[in-house]
Amino acid sequence: MDLLSIAILIFIIMESANVAILYFWPGSRLGNGVAVFNAYFNPVSEEQRLFASYLVNWVAGVKLIFIFLLAVILVIGTEQIKLWAVVAMILSIATYFWRLHPTIKKLDTMGCITPKGYSKALGWMIAGFLIMFTLALMGHILMGVIGA
């Protein structure tokens, strides 16, 4: 199995676990469980509770779209399709640091996250995905140059 396929497979496995947590145990602090957000357990109204539940399930659904598309690419995609899928993953995952990370970092600073410091751990996890895909891409390119 080539480096791009390995990176895609690792991402599929890890994100599948996160989807299971979001759908079946959203109140967990594991993976992408939302129990790290103190407000999840303290909605002001039924409307806010339902809205939070909707957003959690919406995120899980979006993750499923990525997982299924990557699974199709993994199974029937050509080498070039896998290469561009990895580039797309690098770019899309990097957007976390543009909008989501500043928000969760601020919430963490305000004491709205349990455990404190979770924003750093999540940032490193997301950075790990970026590093994994970037190394797989670089390795793939270098193997192509060396093999040529």
Whether the pLDDT of residue 6 is over 90: the answer is yes
Average pLDDT, the chain: 94
Instruction: Report the interhelical angle of 118-147 vs 100-109 (nearest 10°).
Output: 150
Asked whether the predicted pLDDT for residue 4 surpasses 70, the reply is yes
Provide the token pair at 68.
């299924």
Under DSSP, the state recorded for 32 is T
pLDDT, tens digit, for every residue of 8-21? 999 999 999 999 99
| Residue 126 DSSP SS3 | helix
Q: How much is the pLDDT for 137?
A: 97
Q: Report pLDDT for 148.
A: 62
Taking residues 32-39, report their average pLDDT: 89
Scanning 25-117, the segments in alpha helix (DSSP H) are 46-76, 79-94, 100-109
pTM: 0.90
| CA-based nearest residue to 60, from 24, 8, 90 | 24
What does the pLDDT look like over 102-123, one tens digit per residue?
A: 999 999 999 999 999 999 999 9
Q: How confident is the model at residue 63 (pLDDT cuts 50, 70, 90)?
A: very high
| Number of other residues whose CB lies within 10 A of the CB of residue 6 | 14
Q: How far apart are CA 93 and CA 70, in angstroms?
A: 14
Q: What is the pLDDT of residue 62?
A: 96
